[in-house]
A and B are shown apart, each in its own frame.
Chain A
Amino acid sequence: MNLDIHDKKIPIIKIRDFLIVSIQVDMHDKLAVQLQSQILHEIERTGAKGVLIDISVLEMVDSFIGRMLSGMASMAAIMDAAVVIVGMQPAVAITLVELGLEMPGVDTALDMEKGMEMLEKKLREKES
């Protein structure tokens, strides 16, 4: 499933039980909101148990995008899917904290691989 914004696309790919979302564009607010609802729809449609969101390309996360990400984590949790955000640049993390934004309930990992391990571990814990 692709989200068209002019000629830019944010693909949502399903691999096994997980959705992989790699944000490759500088998002404006409407696109962020669309992405949020798109991911939730894909969780419902595919029954995915986890979502991996790669933001390594994002050069900036402001209060709106930050809130969108933490909101999505809470909404996905209600739908029984875990969200892990990976690849946040150090400068982005510093700025988010200085901005005063808290992202409760958001799990983060350094990169895709570690994020995937985290999701698999969560899934195993839930099943056992």
Chain B
Amino acid sequence: MQEIISDNNWNKLGIYPIVDEHDIVKVRSIVRQHAKDFRMGIVEQTRITTAISELLRNMYNYANGGDVVIESGQVEEHNALIITCIDKGPGIEDVELAMSDGYTSGMGMGYGLPGAKRLVDKFEIYSKPQKGTTVRIMKWK
């Protein structure tokens, strides 16, 4: 598992704290708006909005919230919308297990991570027990 690195040339579009459930709804709609501004089609907009919804729920339920950074920039020769979810929660003990299909944590909500991964073009995750988790998703224009 590699640490997630940022590119200084990326264009910061916004940073949003997730504190309560209304923040989830708010950030979800901000992400959709950015996808629209990016001229993504309706299915692509729905994919990235749904993926971010899964990630924000994890962040809220398991890590007591965190921050979401929205950026745009060049990644692997693609013009990308880049969304990074950073929390300082308990971390994920076994990332490989959490990324496997059908895995559900004890809370019965499911992790949603493998599903979110399928909906985006690039998915990165870095987690350190007791330190927190960073998940970054990207969607090409």
A residues apposed to B, CB below 8 Å: 26-30, 59-64, 67, 89-92, 94-95, 98-101
Q: Enumerate chain A residues within 8 angstroms of B136, measured Cβ to Cβ.
A: none
Complex partner residue of A28 from B21, B42, B46, B50, CB under 8 angstroms: B21
Nearest CB in chain A: distance from B17 CB, A: 16
Known: A26-B29, A100-B101, A100-B114. A62 touches B43 (CB 8 A): no
Q: What 18 new A-B contacts, CB under 8 Å, besides A26-B25, A29-B57, A92-B46? A: A28-B24, A59-B32, A59-B49, A60-B28, A60-B50, A60-B53, A61-B50, A62-B53, A62-B54, A63-B109, A64-B109, A90-B43, A91-B43, A95-B47, A95-B119, A99-B50, A99-B115, A99-B116
Q: Enumerate chain A residues within 8 angstroms of B57, measured Cβ to Cβ.
A: 29, 62, 64
Q: Enumerate chain B residues within 8 angstroms of A61, measured Cβ to Cβ.
A: 50
Docked CA distance A29–B25 (Å) = 9
B residues apposed to A, CB below 8 Å: 21-22, 24-25, 28-29, 32, 42-43, 45-47, 49-50, 53-54, 57, 101, 109-110, 112, 114-116, 118-119
Q: Which 6 A-B pairs have the closest CB atoms?
A: A28-B21, A99-B115, A91-B46, A62-B53, A91-B43, A91-B42
Nearest CB in chain B: distance from A99 CB, A: 4
The answer to whether B21 and A30 touch across the interface, beta carbons within 8 angstroms, is: yes
18 A-B pairs with CB atoms under 8 Å apart are: A29-B21, A62-B50, A62-B54, A62-B57, A62-B112, A63-B110, A63-B112, A63-B115, A64-B109, A67-B110, A89-B46, A90-B43, A95-B43, A95-B47, A98-B115, A98-B119, A100-B114, A100-B115
Docked CA distance A100–B22 (Å) = 26
Nearest CB in chain B: distance from A64 CB, A: 6
Docked CA distance A32–B42 (Å) = 24
Known: A60-B46, A62-B50, A64-B109. A101 touches B21 (CB 8 A): no
Q: Enumerate chain B residues within 8 angstroms of A92, measured Cβ to Cβ.
A: 46
Docked CA distance A20–B101 (Å) = 35
Q: Enumerate chain B residues within 8 angstroms of A27, measured Cβ to Cβ.
A: 25
Q: Enumerate chain A residues within 8 angstroms of B47, measured Cβ to Cβ.
A: 95, 98
